[in-house]
Each structure stands twice: as C-alpha cells, then as structure tokens.
C-alpha cells in the first residue's frame, strides 16, 4: 500500500506513533489541525504481550492499544498516518515558512523513508513534535532477550504486581540501581541485586538493602539460564548458578534523534531530550514528549497524558504565533 503524500502544509509533523504521539495527534486533529504522524513501527514495549495499568485497558496487548489509537486518530479527515522512518528535519527560512502560509515565519521540512512497502514522505510543517520513544541497550548477556518482556522487565510499576513474593533479580550497571531495588522491595524481599561487576552500589547502600533482606551480588554474570520459556536462574562468570525466576533489568536508553542533524537539541546527562515546561526543545518550533524526555521511561498512560498536555501547548503556540502575541498563554 502506498501512503498519501500531501500537497498542503501540515500543522504539526509528529515523529512517533506510540501513546505519546497518537494522543497528541488526536488532540490536534480535534483542534482542526492538519497533522501527520510518521511512525517506524518499533515501539519499545513490543517485547511484551500484555500491558498493565492503562485505565480501562489493563492487561491489553500493546499492539491492540496502538491499533485502537491509530484508528481513533485516523477517524478525522485532517489526520495522516505514514509508516515511515523519519530521516531528516530541516528548518525553513523565515521567507520559505511565510511562503508556505506559516504566519510566524517558523517551519520545517520533514523527510521520511517508507517502511513495509509504503512510499517515502515529505512534509512541510509549522511545528515538529518528537515522540520517538527510546531505544534500549540490555546488558550484553546472550540469552537476556529471550526472557525480556516475559520473565524480565524494565518497568517496575508496569510489571511488579505479577512478581509479588517471587525470587527476583535486579540486573543493571547504572547509578540508579539502589533506588530501583527499594521500589522492587514493595513486591518481594527475596531480591538479589546483580551489579555485573560494576561499582554502582555504595557500601552504605548495600548495608541498607541488607537490613531489609536484599542481597547485593557483585560478581560478573555469564548469562541468564532457563528451561524452555521459563527463566530458572543467573549463571555467574565463575560457573555458579543462582536460582531466580525473573525480575528486572535496567537497560541503558538511547534517544534516537539522528534526524535532527546539526540542530542544537539539548540533552541531559542520560541523553534524554530536554524541554521547557511547555514541551518545547531548545530548537524553536520543535517539541518533544513521551519516554524520550526526562525523567525517561514511565508508563503508557503517562506518555498519553503528556501527549495531550503538550498538544494543547502546541495549539496555543500556533494560535499566538499567527497573531504575533507571544508565547505565554496566561
Ligand atoms: C518490555 C516493556 C514492557 C512495558 N510494559 C508496560 C506496561 O505494562 N504498562 C505501561 O504503562 N507501560 C509499559 N511499558 C512502558 C511503555 O511502553 C512506554 O512508557 C511507552 O510506550 C512510551 O510511549 P512513547 O509514545 O513515548 O514511545 P513508544 O511507545 O516507544 O513509541 C515511539 C514510536 O516512535 C517510533 N519512532 C522512533 N524513531 C522514529 C523515527 N525516526 N521516525 C518515525 N518513527 C519513529 C517508534 O517506532 C515507536 O512506534 C513497557 C516498556 C517495555 C520496554
């Protein structure tokens, strides 16, 4: 199937069709804006079969949630959904933007490569919203992917309940491991924190964890072991296998914004895209929302809620931009 390549300029080009992008898109088409969502169809939670905690959809499959969201968005005549990987976002000059009908002289050219047989796309848009989520780098253990999304998870709020009272792991090499261990202790005190040889838990933190029955294992890990689909333990580099049935892993996250090229997007220490409280990045006219902005990955309902919040700011920005009355919306 080929995608429509529109002639008319777009209000907002949204990069990413997850809950953040779809929710923003829905609000904006309902504000009578012409909106294009470009989506490369690689949602972060594709590893899992059930998603939890989204009010009215607790336990729904993540794919079903996306399908429903896309269907609702595409129910509006000014909605365009393109299956495309965004390759390039380039600013228009003020003259080019005005010539495109953008009264405040701000605009962007957004190019994407079609995926799954869809055509390449190119949009001229007044504003850009980055809702591209995060990509994950799991600790380099050969079998870890086989258990990720079933026995091993990254979001404690999303999957902690199902782990209640089980013998669990927390595997990670980052400085927030202690805080995560405390969070998991709500679900099970039979928890071992594996630092995989990294020096990320301080001695006094280890003592605090020990006081609530949580052990810290500092030896390097060889792999996750299991029988068929079931995880049964963690094998250390010295050969010892510690029996465990599942738990949590702390991936490293990368914000995939190569399409911004040389544009000066500001990042925080974790590499996430920094915005002001309205959701606008350091590049005027480019907004960001969802897992890609600090504090990083949260939940589907939070991504969707923030998508709606930032959509309202974008809409007001365009109204004010057309009238030349500044940004502050009080
Ligand atoms: C294994 C796992 C299980 C989870 N379980 C739950 C759960 O049970 N409950 C819960 O509430 N949350 C859960 N989460 C968290 C939840 O998935 C995220 O918080 C949520 O998906 C974030 O939404 P988002 O819209 O910001 O990003 P995403 O959902 O990741 O969507 C981003 C979209 O942008 C697209 N994209 C990226 N780059 C480009 C580009 N250059 N061009 C075009 N498109 C692009 C991607 O293909 C993707 O479709 C889970 C996460 C993981 C990893």
The 3-state secondary structure of 77-125 reads: CCEEEEEEEEEEEEECCHHHHHHCCCCCCCCEEEEEEECCCCCCEEEEE
Tokens describing residue 243: 């029996």
- Going from the Cα of 216 to the center of ligand 1, the distance in angstroms, rounded, reads 30
| Residues in a beta bridge with 231 | 226
> Is there an atom of ligand 1 within 6 Å of 66 CB?
no
Nearest CA residue ID for atom 5, ligand 1: 51
Q: Which helix (H) or strand (E) holds 249?
A: strand 246-249
Report the pLDDT value the prediction gives residue 3, as an integer from 0 to 100.
Answer: 47
Report the pLDDT value the prediction gives residue 102, as an integer from 0 to 100.
Answer: 95
Is the pLDDT at 181 greater than 60? The verdict is yes
Pocket test for ligand 1, best of 14, 300, 302, 308 (most atoms within 8 A of CB): 300
Report the pLDDT value the prediction gives residue 138, as an integer from 0 to 100.
Answer: 94
Residue 256 CA: nearest ligand 1 atom is: 38
| Residue 8 pLDDT class (50, 70, 90 cuts) | confident
Is the pLDDT at 127 greater than 80? The verdict is yes
Question: What mean pLDDT value characterizes the chain?
Answer: 93
Pocket test for ligand 1, best of 13, 27, 40, 45 (most atoms within 8 A of CB): 45
**Mean local confidence (pLDDT), 291-313:** 96
- Going from the Cα of 46 to the center of ligand 1, the distance in angstroms, rounded, reads 8
Report the pLDDT value the prediction gives residue 319, as an integer from 0 to 100.
Answer: 92
Is the pLDDT at 188 greater than 60? The verdict is yes
Tokens describing residue 293: 């902005």
Nearest CA residue ID for atom 8, ligand 1: 51
Tokens describing residue 127: 């504003």
Residue 257 CA: nearest ligand 1 atom is: 41
Nearest CA residue ID for atom 12, ligand 1: 299
Is the pLDDT at 228 greater than 60? The verdict is yes
CA distances from 89 to 112, 125, 192, 307 (A): 9, 10, 45, 20
In degrees rounded to 5, what are phi and psi of residue 95? -65, -45
**Tens digit of each residue's pLDDT (9 = 90 or more) over 28-87:** 999 999 999 999 998 877 778 889 999 999 999 989 999 999 999 999 999 999 999 999
Is the pLDDT at 255 greater than 50? The verdict is yes
- Give percent above pLDDT 90 in the chain: 85
Cα separation of 275 and 127, whole Å? 15
- Give percent above pLDDT 70 in the chain: 97
**Tens digit of each residue's pLDDT (9 = 90 or more) over 303-326:** 999 999 999 999 999 998 888 877
Mean pLDDT lowest for which of 2-6, 231-235, 307-311? 2-6
pTM comes to 0.93
Report the pLDDT value the prediction gives residue 330, as an integer from 0 to 100.
Answer: 52
């Amino acid at each position: 199937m080929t995608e429509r390549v529109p002639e008319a300029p777009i209000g907002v080009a949204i990069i990413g069709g997850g809950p953040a992008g779809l929710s923003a898109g829905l609000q904006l088409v309902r504000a009578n804006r012409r909106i294009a969502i470009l989506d490369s169809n690689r949602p972060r939670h594709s590893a899992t079969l059930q998603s939890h905690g989204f009010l009215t959809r607790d336990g729904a499959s993540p794919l079903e949630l996306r399908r429903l969201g896309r269907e609702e968005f595409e129910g509006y005549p000014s909605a365009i959904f393109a299956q495309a990987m965004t390759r390039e976002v380039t600013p228009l000059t003020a003259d080019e933007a005005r010539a495109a009908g953008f009264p405040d002289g701000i605009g962007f050219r957004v190019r994407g490569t079609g995926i799954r047989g869809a055509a390449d796309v190119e949009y001229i848009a007044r504003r850009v919203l980055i809702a591209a989520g995060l990509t994950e780098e799991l600790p380099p253990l050969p079998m870890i992917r086989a258990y990720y999304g079933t026995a091993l998870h990254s979001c404690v709020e999303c999957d902690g309940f199902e782990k209640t009272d089980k013998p669990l792991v927390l595997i990670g090499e980052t400085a927030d491991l202690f805080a995560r261990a405390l969070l998991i202790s709500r679900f099970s005190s039979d928890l071992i924190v594996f630092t995989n040889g990294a020096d990320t838990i301080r001695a006094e933190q280890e003592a605090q964890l020990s006081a609530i029955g949580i052990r810290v294992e500092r030896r390097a890990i060889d792999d996750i072991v299991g029988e068929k689909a079931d995880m049964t333990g963690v094998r250390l580099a010295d050969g010892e296998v510690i029996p465990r049935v599942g738990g949590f892993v702390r991936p490293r996250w990368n914000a995939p914004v190569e399409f911004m090229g040389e544009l000066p997007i500001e990042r925080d220490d974790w590499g996430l895209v920094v915005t002001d409280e309205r959701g606008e990045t350091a590049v005027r006219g480019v907004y960001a929302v969802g897992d890609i902005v600090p504090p990083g990955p949260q939940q589907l309902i939070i991504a969707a809620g923030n998508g709606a919040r930032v959509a309202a700011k974008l809409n007001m920005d365009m109204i004010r931009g057309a009238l030349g009355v500044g940004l502050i919306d009080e």
